[in-house]
C-alpha cells in the first residue's frame, strides 16, 4: 500500500497507538466479534493505520469453519479491516474538532480479493488508509497481511455518525 501514498511511514517507536483497553472504550464490539487487539497510526496525518489481531485456535468461528482445517472466514478479515478503519477515525479526532462521533458504520465494499488462508497461530495485520472523505463519509483501502504476505484486500466505505448528545 505504501506505493499509493506520498506521506512517509512513521518509525514504529513514534507511532501513536491504541491498546485493547482503549479499543474497548471506542468500539461496542466484544468477543467473539472484536477483531482488533491493537492499532497504530502509521503516518503523521493519522489517515493510515495498522491493526493487529492474534489468531488463535480458540476463536469461536473455527468450530465450524472448518473443524479439521480451521480457516478464518474472509468476511471476518473484511470486518477486521473495517474495525481498524473505525478506530482510526474515532481515535484521531483532534481536540480542536467540535464533532463527537458515536460510531462509524460500514456502508459498502468493492474490489475484494482473498489470496491465502488465515489459520490459527497467525498474527493478522490490517493496513488501512483513507483514500478520500467527504464530510463524515470515508472511502478506505485495506489490505491484510500475515508475515509480510498480502492475504486479502478491499475498498470499502463507512460513515461516521455524530453524537447528538441524547442519552
65 is catalytic: yes
pTM of the full structure: 0.90
Residue 8 lies in a domain: no
Q: How many CB atoms lie within 10 A of CB 158?
A: 23
The active-site residue, picked from 29, 65, 127, 129, is: 65
Structural domain that includes position 106: 15-162
Say if residues 127 and 155 touch (Cβ distance below 8 Å): no
Residue 106 lies in a domain: yes
Count of domains observed in the chain: 1
The pLDDT tens digits of the residues spanning 40-86 come to: 998 888 899 999 999 999 999 999 999 899 999 999 999 999 999 99
In whole angstroms, give the CA distance from residue 117 to residue 100.
Answer: 38
The pLDDT tens digits of the residues spanning 107-166 come to: 999 999 999 999 999 999 999 999 999 999 999 999 999 999 999 999 999 999 988 775
Amino acid at each position: 500500500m505504501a506505493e499509493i501514498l506520498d506521506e512517509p511511514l512513521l518509525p514504529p517507536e513514534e507511532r501513536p497507538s491504541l491498546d485493547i483497553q482503549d479499543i474497548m472504550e471506542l468500539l461496542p464490539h466484544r468477543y467473539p466479534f472484536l477483531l482488533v487487539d491493537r492499532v497504530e497510526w502509521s503516518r503523521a496525518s493519522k489517515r493510515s493505520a495498522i491493526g493487529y489481531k492474534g489468531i488463535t485456535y480458540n476463536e469461536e468461528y473455527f468450530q465450524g469453519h472448518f473443524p479439521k482445517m480451521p480457516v478464518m472466514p474472509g468476511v471476518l478479515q473484511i470486518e477486521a479491516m473495517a474495525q481498524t478503519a473505525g478506530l482510526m477515525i474515532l481515535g484521531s479526532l483532534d481536540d480542536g474538532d467540535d464533532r463527537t462521533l458515536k460510531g462509524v458504520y460500514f456502508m459498502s465494499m468493492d474490489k475484494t480479493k482473498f489470496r491465502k488462508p488465515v489459520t490459527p497461530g497467525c498474527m493478522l495485520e490490517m493496513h488501512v488508509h483513507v483514500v478520500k472523505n467527504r464530510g463524515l463519509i470515508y472511502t478506505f483501502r485495506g489490505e491484510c497481511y500475515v508475515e509480510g504476505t498480502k492475504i486479502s484486500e478491499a475498498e470499502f466505505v463507512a460513515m461516521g455518525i455524530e453524537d447528538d448528545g441524547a442519552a
